[in-house]
Structure 1
Amino acid sequence: MAHLITVLFGLAGVCLASTASSSDFYGHHVRRGSCPPGFHHVQGRCYSLGDEYVTWQGCWDSCKDNKAEMASFETMEEHQALSQFMLANAKSAFYWVGGVMLDDGSWRWVSGAPLAPSTMQWYHSPAGSLFRQSVIFRLEDFRMKPTHGSDVNVCLCEMAKSSKCPAKYEEVNGRCLRFREVESTWEEARDWCHAINGDLAVIPSLKDHDVMAGRMLAMGKETGPYWVGARAQVKGYYQWVTGDPVLHMTWKDNFPQSSDGCAQMDPWSGFSTTDASCSSTAYSICQLRA
């Protein structure tokens, strides 16, 4: 699956060329210079069209190299505005965008936001698709269709929204998370998080869990599992490192019955949460202290 995700974000430098004008493609007022060179203003956002054919992962990497993200459009208005711009400027029939399918069959943008299977945005319903990445294509009014991440298409990037997080951290649903691909016990992982002014990540709601899962999938974080900040206090009772009880969690096997376990997010189980011996080793997710 990591291979599939790698395919989504491309090698092409995919930024829309920006001029120093004070209005965007549709005449919306935009602060002069708000888009960097290579990006275009479209309805107040900055987009970049690539010109090389790359895999999905190649597109992801290329966008990141340009401090951008794979393009998304979370409203019909955004989709229509971008479609009009591409109609006038796109030279390729197919462009990668940042949609990805989770193991449960739901679709999300690489930001973690839900991607509804709207018939207005999709060429045909993606339900039941065997392909895990989405592509926007020039024909059929720029509607999307799912395809294999190892295919090659041109990349469509958008300027990443300004992040409050320091280097090496990912902003996920308003929180700054750092993914550590070094195996350690739960206690060792927590000590490491403390050393960088953080703690193991807390997942306070099912919505937070889904957003984090979508973001991890898009980032290719599929080789875990990853420790998170919950530990059993007594049999059947888990508590976050904040002291709050674990009330909302997507457990793999209902609610765990361990009295000495620690919680992990497991990519191999569709990013559901599993409990494991705290002395076993895994990767970890740290959350920066506010």
Structure 2
Amino acid sequence: MTPTIARTRDELIEARSGVKGTLAFVPTMGALHEGHRSLIRLARRRADAVAVSIFVNPLQFGPDEDFGRYPRTLAADLDICAAEGADLVFAPSRSVMYPDDPQVTIKSGPMGEVVEGASRPGHFDGMLTVVLKLLNLVRPDVAVFGEKDAQQLAMIRRMVADLNVPVEIVGGPTVRESDGLALSSRNRYLSEDERRTALALSRALRAGADASLGGPGAVIAAANVVLDKAATADPPLLLDYLVLVDPATFTAITPPYAGPAVLAVAGRVGATHLIDNVPLQFPEES
């Protein structure tokens, strides 16, 4: 199946008008991999038609981040969308998404200033702004986002609830490579040695999850054992954060605690910033 490709707003309006039934939407920044494929498949199960967007959003990159070298593989991405049965692909240019420098944008608030937001000031403002623009342009019934970006997913859910956006937000499970590394478009930056070090992120999460019966303190302690060792590797893992947070607000949890939680970690290996997380559930006795 060859999807309809829209590059302008007018082309998108025309393509959207031809969609019959419900529409599920998968926003991406391209460089599609198996994780994105899984989101498109999930979208297909949730609606009659599927739309995918491919746009590297400049608003969510800081001045010293990798906007310029972020992988752009549109031809391959379109092949993946076709193979997964997407009905519509919106692939706008920067001038289509931002004809003028935006004067009114989304402010992510306190939730956007913690965890990943503390490491990347302004990132979530830019992310929420482009997501809201895309939701307004595509007008889906359902929008699907990866759970690997847990804070992003939580903030999109909050924005949709706070601003009464008429769309259902669905999270898709994190997809991992055979060695446990969470799939990311940035993994292609890693050298063989850097990749070996980067595996400490998923190993730390597994260690923390295995210790969850001991409560929040045991989770953090077990994960830190793995991360401390990775900090002395060659090349080293430079830890940005390891946090145990409420999945809805991303505020830190402290013992005693019962209920759902997210153990989130981020670090830099070489010039590559990587994130990962695992959901946890603490029983009453913890």
Which has more strand, going by share of residues?
Answer: 1
User: TM-score, normalized by length of structure 1?
Assistant: 0.29
Which has more helix, going by share of residues?
Answer: 2
User: TM-score, normalized by length of structure 2?
Assistant: 0.29
Larger radius of gyration: 1
